[in-house]
Structure 1
């Protein structure tokens, strides 16, 4: 494993002590604000504030709760600004710890909202019938993956914009944010979500990596109704593109700041190749297994039995994303019907040690 250079020392100390880090001015006019997201193993999300001539811009907003809202308001006050000074909000992706406080923010101010179109399309107002269809589809997906007890379909937070409020800017890859005094551009890095964005400012020497690159863990890359067909393949391609960027200081959404983008990319690519090998081995040892059964047989950061229902299903969907890549590579094949079961596409003797065809 390669070694990154930790630059957010106070953030890492706070992480080790299981407390919130302080609000910090990372560059002149650029601050990081920790916003709690309990209960969650990641504990907080880092929101970034950029000073503008007439106010401030935000990158992400935080988890939709009263405690998170108060932390955001207090953090902005610590920068010398007020919540009503927000003029622009760029969202890395649609997950509730990043987008969740947008509706509440809109009760106080009317900023420009910017997001990648792949995620923005899920935020428009939908009817109750459409929501019921989404919930029904989620249940069928869980059944196809072999999950037990799917009476609870797993939906907790369905992100929505207030009715009639559009997403002002649907960003494309390498599109500038046009923030006065900054040279920030959007980088499309799909994988964690279909529309995940990083934001880079070469002049300031920073890249806001969202959940695409974190210093210590791999982000969850899962199959679900809001994703691309093959999210892990997209993520691996996104990592390869990120590896070619200048060595900017990484300002992630969780944990702490660091340098060493290329080294971190190398570690993550190796991690996923190892997981692909492990899953292939699991199918060799137990042919015709479901995604749920395979998930229970591979290693996780803690014993699988200690994962709650939500985390276990996230792990299962992540396993399924790896299975889809192995199907794409011609290593594994799924059966028809529900639940879907997996077996080798080629005889064991015709595969290399990493599970790929000879």
Structure 2
């Protein structure tokens, strides 16, 4: 049965399943406008997900063909996956922040073989063992990856601007961290139930009620800039906390209130995590060794190969934050590079 929730004030959410993923589904939001419905995110590119989206729109009294636009909070395939198919069926525009559009363009232009070579080099530099690198070395040049050809957006989301939604006031807030171009969308309208606060916020993956989004590295192999995604995420969280929306409509789990309290919980969580990692670095560790020792939602031995790559990326993001704070430093001459507490 299609799950549709009416949030009032011309906003509904649809549960679009994510195949073989513990998150279960993406909450795709439908926003009524004077020129037709607009989606906030679309869901995973999968036949079952497409059917759920189509059925959910029918339950809302509309259809894919009637959609006017798609606003994508970030480029991940459980959010952006169906955007291209929606555009083909409706002629709807697709809007995304320029930083994530750059990731999409790079993904579309990169051959799978180059991606595997890059990942192998990155993981080797992080201290990954040979048995983890072997599958990357043996992957054929034509091995395909999910989400390798995502739709290229045709409109840019400009931070601080109102989006072109006729009859609505939806303002873009740049919240990098989970991805470089992640945006939250602030509906600057009185809450339909009269809840106290500053409108409603479509938070994507930036602010979720019960889980912490992954903070990893999304870097151009040809760009040597050292980024600080965790620092970006923490700064973005504080901006959302100051906004104090009456209600948050996230892309996973469920709607919730008291955003400032949730922001404080996440800030405290990351400070505790950074302090714990600082303690682990009393002896020099590579990013791989640090990832093995970090706490995850399951023992390291049970984490699949691809998820270990994500875990190492998150460990590196935390190391960069510690280095920027002056709490850790790379050990000169170490290869692969190790880090120690300061």
TM-score under structure 1 length normalisation: 0.84
Is the contact made by 1:202 and 1:248 (CA closer than 8 Å) also made in structure 2?
Answer: no
Is the contact made by 1:211 and 1:252 (CA closer than 8 Å) also made in structure 2?
Answer: yes
Is the contact made by 2:108 and 2:149 (CA closer than 8 Å) also made in structure 1?
Answer: no
2-structure distance, mates of 1:127, 1:190: 22
Aligned-pair distance for 1:228?
A: 7.3
Q: 1:110 aligns with which of 73, 77, 91?
A: 91
Partner of 1:300, secondary structure, is coil
Partner of 1:333, secondary structure, is strand
Q: 2:209 aligns with which of 207, 215, 221?
A: 215
Aligned-pair distance for 1:174?
A: 1.2
2-structure distance, mates of 1:129, 1:98: 21
Partner of 2:297, secondary structure, is coil
Aligned-pair distance for 1:298?
A: 2.2
2-structure distance, mates of 1:300, 1:127: 31
Partner of 2:216, secondary structure, is coil
Which 4+ runs in 1 deviate beyond 4 A?
Answer: 125-131
Aligned-pair distance for 1:128?
A: 6.2
Q: Aligned pair in 2 of structure 1 residues 343, 189: CA closer, same or farther (>3 Å)?
A: same
Aligned to 1:38: 19
CA distances 1:300-347 after superposition (whole Å, capped 9, x unpaired) = 222222221222222221111110011111111124565221113x3x
Which shifted more, 152-161 or 111-120? 152-161
Aligned to 1:201: 187
CA distances 1:188-217 after superposition (whole Å, capped 9, x unpaired) = 000000000000112042100000000001
The correspondence of residues 1-358 of structure 1 with structure 2, limited to 5 A, is: 22-124=3-105, 132-148=113-129, 149-153=132-136, 156-161=145-150, 167-203=153-189, 204=191, 205-225=199-219, 229-284=227-282, 287-335=283-331, 338-344=335-341, 346=342
Is the contact made by 2:35 and 2:166 (CA closer than 8 Å) also made in structure 1?
Answer: no
Q: Number of paired residues?
A: 321
Partner of 1:108, secondary structure, is helix
Is the contact made by 1:200 and 1:207 (CA closer than 8 Å) also made in structure 2?
Answer: yes
Is the contact made by 2:80 and 2:150 (CA closer than 8 Å) also made in structure 1?
Answer: no
Query: Where in structure 2 are there 5+ consecutive unaligned residues?
Result: 192-198
Is the contact made by 1:192 and 1:220 (CA closer than 8 Å) also made in structure 2?
Answer: yes
Which shifted more, 264-273 or 327-336? 327-336
CA distances 1:134-171 after superposition (whole Å, capped 9, x unpaired) = 33222211111222322444983345355xxx532211
TM-score under structure 2 length normalisation: 0.87
2-structure distance, mates of 1:21, 1:272: 36
CA distances 1:54-79 after superposition (whole Å, capped 9, x unpaired) = 42100001011111111111111110
2-structure distance, mates of 1:151, 1:269: 37
Asked which structure has the greater RCO (Cα within 8 Å, sep 6+), the reply is 1
2-structure distance, mates of 1:152, 1:173: 40
Aligned-pair distance for 1:22?
A: 2.2
Is the contact made by 1:94 and 1:159 (CA closer than 8 Å) also made in structure 2?
Answer: no
Aligned-pair distance for 1:261?
A: 0.8
2-structure distance, mates of 1:247, 1:237: 17
Which shifted more, 101-110 or 258-267? 101-110
Which shifted more, 31-40 or 218-227? 218-227
Q: Aligned pair in 2 of structure 1 residues 262, 194: CA closer, same or farther (>3 Å)?
A: same
